[in-house]
Amino acid sequence: MQFIKPDINLNFIEKKNIGFLFSLSLIIISFAFLIINNGPNYGIDFTGGTLVQVKFTEKIAIKTIRTGLSDIGLSNVSVQNFGKKEDNEFLIRTNKSIKQEENLSLSISKAFKKSTGIAPEIRRIEMVGPQVGKELRKKALLAMFYSLLFITIYISGRFEMKWILSGITAGSLMSAVYFLSVFNMSIIFLISTAIIITLILFWALKLKYALGAVIALIHDVIITVGLFSILNLEFSLPVIAALLTIIGYSLNDTIIVFDRIRENLKQIKKKTISEIINKSINETLSRTILTSLTTLVVLFSLFFLGGEIIHDFAFAMITGVIIGTYSSIFVASPILLIWNNKK
């Protein structure tokens, strides 16, 4: 199916500076909000604590819910509506981990009945200890970093036949990060430093395809996380799963463009490198847009019809697909041109 005419010739490369400026602006805004908000709005998966989801049959004031919670020792809590207001459903969060007991659900139900006069339906209770939350946060960051390094091995091996060089480089970085993380160093500082060193090494070792792909993936993750911070959405394990999925999706899109660039570099001799890259982007544009649109149809269905539980996951995926499609065209491919011009 041809969504776009095969002979289309949009000059994306000519607009690369506008694309870079736009991306840089989004990244700066993302970092600014992350600094202002002291990082993402971590859920109990990463901070530890207790989450209770309850549903009432009648309209209930949040004040009466807080009164019931204080009767069982939960005075410092966050109570918010969950879903539509007419559903009378609430999410209750506290950073205090309650020891799980068989009658915990019953105790909460009795406390609410006493304060509101209505016995609610306890839909779920989740409890995570603070140490477990800290460990999950560390492992989530390491998972994303390791996935980026494994991707560089694949990209360098497939497009430049540098399996051993990229493998040794990525293996050394993984080992160094894992070794230093054992000594309770700040995992965010550690991984940020490792990523900077990774990009410098890729430039020095002339792993241009891996460099372009990794910069595009980092770009996608930072902007998605930044948008969550701007909107103050909860950052949880499902969101981490969405970020890892975004990395895979964006990489697939980038590989399609890179593959066409590599083929055209071998076959076309009478054009400049910028013309070849631009031609390659145009040749894969129909597939890129069709894939993104069909994916977004499913994601929007999940977002609007899937319920509140997967709302943040679907939102992260929608953001990632849009940003990932953009970065394949305006970030990853122009990086190859910049590298060749410097060379």
For the stretch 268-281, pLDDT in tens is 888 888 899 999 99
Domain limits of the chain?
A: 13-43+132-342, 49-128
pLDDT digits (tens, 9 = 90+) for 118-154: 878 888 888 777 777 788 888 888 888 888 888 888 9
Out of 1-10, 147-156, 165-174, least confident range: 1-10
Task: Examine the pLDDT at 3 and tell me if it is beyond 80.
Answer: no
* 39 Cα distance to chain centroid: 14
The class level of CATH for 49-128 reads: alpha beta
Q: Over the chain, what is the mean pLDDT?
A: 85
CB atoms near residue 162 (< 10 Å): 21
Topology of domain 13-43+132-342, CATH: Multidrug efflux transporter AcrB transmembrane fold (1.20.1640)
Name the most confidently modeled range: 116-125, 210-219, 307-316. Answer: 210-219
pLDDT digits (tens, 9 = 90+) for 245-263: 999 888 888 999 999 998 9
Q: Whose structure tokens read 């007991």? A: 101
CB atoms near residue 25 (< 10 Å): 10
pTM of the complete model: 0.86
Q: What's the rounded Cα separation, in Å, for the pair 101 and 300? A: 39
Q: Where are the beta strands (DSSP E) in the chain?
A: 41-42, 49-55, 78-81, 89-94, 121-128, 234-235
* Residue (of 342, 308, 276) closest to 90 by Cα position: 308
